[in-house]
Amino acid sequence: MAKDTQYTEDNIRSLDWKEHIRLRPGMYIGKLGDGSSSDDGIYILLKEVLDNCIDEFVMGAGKSIDITIKENMVTVRDYGRGIPLGKLVDVVSKMNTGGKYDTRAFKKSVGLNGVGTKAVNALSSSFSVESSREQRSKVARFEYGNLIEEQEEQSTSKRRGTKVTFVPDAKIFKNFKYRLEYVERMVKNYVYLNPGLTISVNGEKYISENGLKDLLEDQTNASDLLYPIVHLKGEDIEIALSHSRTQYSEEYHSFVNGQHTTQGGTHQAAFREAVVKTVREHFNKNYDAADIRKSIIAAVSIKVMEPVFESQTKTKLGSTEMGGDMPSVRAYINDFVSHQFDNFLHKNATVAEALQRKIIQAERERKELSGIRKLARERAKKASLHNKKLRDCRVHLNDLKKERRLESTIFITEGDSASGSITKSRDVNTQAVFSLRGKPLNTYGMTKKIVYENEEFNLLQAALNIEESLEDLRYNNIVIATDADVDGMHIRLLIITFFLQFFPELIKEGHLYILQTPLFRVRNKKETRYCYSESERRAAVEELKGKIEITRFKGLGEISPDEFKHFIGDDIRLDPMMMDRSTTIEELLSFYMGKNTQDRQKFIMENLKVELDVVEAAL
């Protein structure tokens, strides 16, 4: 029999607010990460501070916000009412303390649980807050959540408002780096939802005049839209929508009280349902829902009293009620869309005709593909049962906590050796592996039919669960892991082409990454260095000195599982795939995958010359 474990009063302990946040950061900010993903913790810290500034703007206090990011230090300054000076320390260091509990002051606020800024404080190596109001100001400074200085109130000529400066704790956010592209995207969403608000990031100003219409225009190219963006606004709702000429699946951008709900929720589901109902009634045809929504690109924003989200990071709305004496979320959205969108279609016959032609075309294509899709699904199900291609993770197999799904990652590899190394070294809780067989097909210019006819792409689509929309995407991070050689680069390009051709929203929403693995291992008897470039190799050789062994990794399969676990663990290096809004997908694919061989050769040679010049200069 096992020895009895002592269980006494000494085993019981209470954590203070900052200890609990630092011990379980995922409960408060989702995943951690290093900044390579838009939902990594360092961006959630910034968002939590910004949410308070936005609430001030919504209340009519302050029309501008200044953000400065210098290396790892972030400063956010608003010009709102300023935190009451007597409660300055409490607001950023005492749980369940804040002004948002008084719904008279914050009727439809972004955050209501009084946790956000405290989490930023606890998870920062340094944190300071300064409030200015009524010609008086006060400053408080913290380290790792501990108060180290509380200045006395003093007179000031500064404009009223609050300034927060913080540096994320490098012990928690390892090797982190802010990517301004992600900050820019976050800031743009804020200004789209708050016309009249100006946000400055390192001196560059962002402002929107047309709300969600501006958002969709920024997300798409006008030439790709089937008809001009439909933009409709109500008291607590705003929608914008169109259909793509080339995109196959659905794309949604949803918001609640200014919060970007990247995982949708009750409002997004209600909007999708309302669009189908309205279109059916307008044309008096019982069109299939999938045909109506195929290729839709839409945005919806609502304001809810005391919203309930499914996690602290507020990425999915759980509320079913609007609050007060308002109807349910579903009824409210359905009523607005049924009246306003239907009226728009009656007044704009050309848009209605274009929409109906799109639906009929989608119906025809769906029927043509129905037999193929049925067989493809059966093959995918059978392959999954026999585990031929996909080695899943426990987040899905055992339904772990929903918060961990933000960490879910699937590595797309080529060949048994590479997939074997990753499979043996991965975190089985959150990391899955999908193995390709040989080089995938170049899908440029092909129709969706090829996705079902090609076994590799059919099984990949099934593994990701993205046939209809991204709403049920099974993995938050899709990582292409190929060898760092010509063949590996070609495979990488073919996979990217597949996503651009059929699922571009995966890239638009920041789900696709390239895994960076070391090219060299440099070691002596005392130390081992992994180098990702020639310059890192030279630096390692110079610093380690003595008797050195240098290994050049030619492929992922040459890296042992014991070593590989470092490269896909805490020290993982991911390059996010981002799209340049100034170039259409068709232009991008045509240049890189089309028949313009001479143009590509010229481009490669010119850029290769630049690279060689840089290397020569370094030498």
Is the pLDDT at 606 greater than 60, yes or no? no
Do 137 and 196 sit in the same domain of this protein?
Answer: yes
- The type of residue at 208 is S
* Residue 195 to residue 186: CA distance in whole angstroms: 15
Query: Does a structural domain hold residue 379?
Result: no
Is the pLDDT at 164 greater than 70, yes or no? yes
pLDDT at 361: 93
With tokens 């995938």, the residue in question is 440
Do 228 and 323 sit in the same domain of this protein?
Answer: yes
| DSSP, residue by residue, 554-568 | -SGGGS-HHHHHHHT
Q: Using one digit for the tens of pLDDT, what is the confidence trace for 359-383?
A: 999 999 888 888 787 877 777 776 6
- Position 612 confidence tier, pLDDT thresholds 50, 70, 90: very low
Question: 63: which 2 tokens?
Answer: 């029309």
- Residue 144, CB half-sphere, CA atoms under 13 Å: how many? 8
Question: 186: which 2 tokens?
Answer: 């976050």
Q: Using one digit for the tens of pLDDT, what is the confidence trace for 35-65?
A: 888 888 999 999 999 988 988 898 888 899 9
Is the pLDDT at 2 greater than 60, yes or no? no
pLDDT at 455: 84
pLDDT at 619: 35
pLDDT at 479: 95
- Position 341 confidence tier, pLDDT thresholds 50, 70, 90: very high
Do 197 and 219 sit in the same domain of this protein?
Answer: no
Query: Does a structural domain hold residue 540?
Result: yes
pLDDT at 114: 54
pLDDT at 271: 96
- Position 356 confidence tier, pLDDT thresholds 50, 70, 90: very high
Query: Does a structural domain hold residue 309?
Result: yes
pLDDT at 384: 61
Please compute the mean of the pLDDT values over residues 529-552 and round it to a whole number.
89
pLDDT at 255: 92
pLDDT at 238: 95
Query: Does a structural domain hold residue 525?
Result: yes
Query: Does a structural domain hold residue 376?
Result: no
Last residue in a domain, options 155, 181, 206? 206
Do 533 and 572 sit in the same domain of this protein?
Answer: no
Last residue in a domain, options 143, 175, 206? 206
Do 32 and 116 sit in the same domain of this protein?
Answer: yes
Percent of the chain with pLDDT over 70: 85
Query: Does a structural domain hold residue 9?
Result: no
- Position 436 confidence tier, pLDDT thresholds 50, 70, 90: confident
Question: 92: which 2 tokens?
Answer: 């950023």
Task: Give 60: exposed, middle or buried? Use CB within 10 Å, 0-12, 13-18, 19+.
Answer: exposed
Is the pLDDT at 178 greater than 90, yes or no? yes
Query: Does a structural domain hold residue 511?
Result: yes
Do 93 and 199 sit in the same domain of this protein?
Answer: yes
For residue 133, count other CB atoms closer than 10 A to its CB: 19
Do 60 and 154 sit in the same domain of this protein?
Answer: yes
Query: Does a structural domain hold residue 134?
Result: yes
pLDDT at 613: 44
pLDDT at 615: 38
Do 467 and 441 sit in the same domain of this protein?
Answer: yes
* Residue 41 to residue 203: CA distance in whole angstroms: 24
Lowest model confidence (mean pLDDT) among 193-202, 350-359, 389-398, 558-567: 389-398
Higher pLDDT, 111 or 393: 393
Question: Is residue 470 classed as helix, strand or coil in its secondary structure?
Answer: helix
Percent of the chain with pLDDT over 90: 40
Do 330 and 191 sit in the same domain of this protein?
Answer: no
Last residue in a domain, options 206, 226, 258? 206
- CATH classification of the domain holding 282: 3.30.230.10
Question: Of 209, 252, 212, which Cα lies nearest the Cα of 230?
Answer: 212
Do 104 and 240 sit in the same domain of this protein?
Answer: no
Average pLDDT of the residues of the chain: 84
- CATH classification of the domain holding 420: 3.40.50.670
Question: Of 136, 178, 253, which Cα lies nearest the Cα of 508?
Answer: 253
**Distance, C-alpha 399 to centroid of its chain:** 21
Evaluated on CA atoms 405, 406, 409, 410, the torsion sign reads positive
Q: Using one digit for the tens of pLDDT, what is the confidence trace for 300-333?
A: 999 988 777 776 567 788 878 887 778 888 999 9
For residue 557, count other CB atoms closer than 10 A to its CB: 19
Is the pLDDT at 401 greater than 70, yes or no? no
pLDDT at 367: 87
Domain containing residue 351: 212-357
Question: Of 26, 56, 54, which Cα lies nearest the Cα of 39?
Answer: 26
Higher pLDDT, 183 or 416: 183
pLDDT at 215: 93
pLDDT at 311: 65
pLDDT at 27: 80
Do 201 and 187 sit in the same domain of this protein?
Answer: yes
- Position 112 confidence tier, pLDDT thresholds 50, 70, 90: very low
**Distance, C-alpha 420 to centroid of its chain:** 28
Do 489 and 567 sit in the same domain of this protein?
Answer: yes
SS (H, E, C) 280-335: HHHHCCCCCHHHHHCCEEEEEEECCCCCCECCCCCCCECCCECCCCCCEHHHHHHH
For residue 461, count other CB atoms closer than 10 A to its CB: 21
* Structural domain total, the chain: 4
With tokens 């501008």, the residue in question is 64
Please compute the mean of the pLDDT values over residues 587-616 and round it to a whole number.
54
The DSSP call for residue 87 is G
Q: Using one digit for the tens of pLDDT, what is the confidence trace for 494-510?
A: 899 899 888 888 888 88
Lowest model confidence (mean pLDDT) among 213-222, 412-421, 473-482: 412-421
Question: Is residue 335 classed as helix, strand or coil in its secondary structure?
Answer: helix
pLDDT at 297: 93
pTM assigned to the model: 0.80
Lowest model confidence (mean pLDDT) among 55-59, 74-78, 119-123: 55-59
